[in-house]
Amino acid sequence: MAFLDQIPLSILILAALTLGLAPFLPEPHIWEKLKMLAAGELVKPIDWFDLALHAAPWLLLIAKLVRMALVRS
């Protein structure tokens, strides 16, 4: 978990809001991919790879926030 401790929270927030949501119009790309996943339309390997890339900043941010909450307890 030392890896998460070394990443500044501000960098993760910035990454989640930019890389995690880009492109912003007509809808955030991560949202489009999550809708495809829920509908069972996420079948191409490139779509899975795209979902992983757009989800990674969000997953790291969530992991960092959970880690910070657990360390403070």
Q: What pLDDT is recorded for position 38?
A: 94
pLDDT tens column, 2-19: 888 899 999 999 999 998
Q: State both tokens at 61.
A: 């941010």
Domain of 44 in residue numbering reads as 2-72
Residue 7 · residue 60 · CB < 8 Å: yes
Q: What pLDDT is recorded for position 30?
A: 87
Kindly report the pTM of this predicted structure: 0.82
CB atoms within 10 A of CB 26: 6
Domains contained in the chain, number: 1
Residues near 9 by beta carbon (within 8 Å), at least 6 away in sequence: 64, 65, 68
Residue 23 · residue 29 · CB < 8 Å: yes
The yes-or-no verdict on residue 59 having pLDDT over 80 is yes
Q: What is the distance between the alpha carbons of residues 39 and 42, in angstroms, rounded to a whole number?
A: 8
Mean pLDDT for the stretch of residues 64-72 = 91
pLDDT tens column, 30-51: 888 889 999 999 889 998 998 8
